[in-house]
Amino acid sequence: MKNEMMFEANGEQIDLAKITRLYPAALIHAGGESASVSLEWAELKAEQITLESYLLICDFDPVGEVPTNRIELRYATKEELFSVMEEIAQRFRN
């Protein structure tokens, strides 16, 4: 029987039961630098930045610690990102 909490995306095997923080972000390029920012901020500053991709960030470190054990899944569109988020949410509902 397949472990219902194992999730595969972008070639990564992710144990959803071990995630301590899971959140969407946008990877942007501005002023010669790349950074991950909130989706809301990226939309507000859309005319001043270049959107590189959408991210689903999975942290595995204890809450309150600086996250060093992280997987970032990249998506070309917000729709792809939201689709994956919904798929993961379904795993937690079952």
Range of the domain at 52: 6-93
**Is 52 part of any domain?**
yes
**Is 68 part of any domain?**
yes
Could you read off the pLDDT of 39-52 as tens digits, one per residue?
A: 999 999 999 999 99
Return the number of other C-beta atoms located less than 10 Å from residue 82's C-beta: 15
C-alpha span between 51 and 22 (Å, rounded): 20
How far is C-alpha 35 from the chain's CA centre? 13
Which residue type is seen at 45? K
Number of domains in the chain: 1
**Is 1 part of any domain?**
no
Its pTM stands at 0.84
C-alpha span between 94 and 90 (Å, rounded): 6
Lowest mean pLDDT among 5-9, 22-26, 70-74: 5-9
